[in-house]
Structure 1
């Protein structure tokens, strides 16, 4: 199957360290502000279930996700000071996943290939 949708979405899940919820949420606000200035970012936000956090992020294509990582590179370490990455999923069309596998290999993501769908 092929799709014309080039969107790539990423879903990291974080366990917030005990007593660090306020500090973690402050970092989340900073990440949202930095991501909002990226032209290739479709959406970006955090949701919570107690001390478990999920970052919901979508990009127009693989290049936009790579640009996002470069944009946040100066502050990426801050998330790890207040949480542990539990898992990360990357969703997108096959050609995008192929482009991302090497740059994201260190995160050991679970890859989900988009087979059916559309985007307005």
Structure 2
């Protein structure tokens, strides 16, 4: 049975530059504050392992991903001056991923097509 789930997960991993962890965490607080007002964001947060950070984020659909990226554009650019984006995954059903492939191409994500599963609202 194919999934009816339309949500998209964005899975970025960052390597924080030496001595910049506190500055990066300060930006994370700003990301969370700004994103908390996005109505189609399902979840959002940062986790850490040493000098690596991961942003755990999910959105109702591709449109919500694009809205989020536009909203945090300035913060993302600032964060990339003190951290490198070392991996980016995008997960979701093909119908939604198709809407993201061209707009996200410059970030070189790996796209994972969701084929089976369910979602509880």
Q: Give the TM interval when normalised to the shorter protein.
A: over 0.9
Q: Is 1:75 the counterpart of 2:75 in the alignment?
A: yes
Q: Distance in 1 between matches of 2:2 and 2:75?
A: 36
| Unmatched runs of 5 consecutive residues or more in structure 1 | none
Q: Distance in 1 between matches of 2:79 and 2:72?
A: 11
Number of the residue aligned with 2:116: 116
TM-score by length of 2: 0.96
Number of the residue aligned with 1:18: 18
**Where does 1:67-106 land on structure 2 (aligned, <5 Å)?**
67-106=67-106
Q: Per the alignment, in what secondary structure is the counterpart of residue 99 of structure 1?
A: coil
Runs of 4+ in 1 over 6 A off after TM superposition: none
Matched residue pairs, number? Answer: 120
Q: Distance in 1 between matches of 2:86 and 2:73?
A: 20
Q: Per the alignment, in what secondary structure is the counterpart of residue 81 of structure 1?
A: coil
Q: Per the alignment, in what secondary structure is the counterpart of residue 102 of structure 1?
A: helix
Q: Distance in 2 between matches of 1:14 and 1:76?
A: 11
Aligned residues: CA RMSD: 0.9
Q: Per the alignment, in what secondary structure is the counterpart of residue 11 of structure 1?
A: strand
Q: Distance in 2 between matches of 1:74 and 1:54?
A: 18
Q: Distance in 2 between matches of 1:76 and 1:49?
A: 20
Q: Distance in 1 between matches of 2:59 and 2:108?
A: 20
Does the 8 Å contact 2:2/2:117 carry over to 1? no
Q: Distance in 2 between matches of 1:38 and 1:4?
A: 23
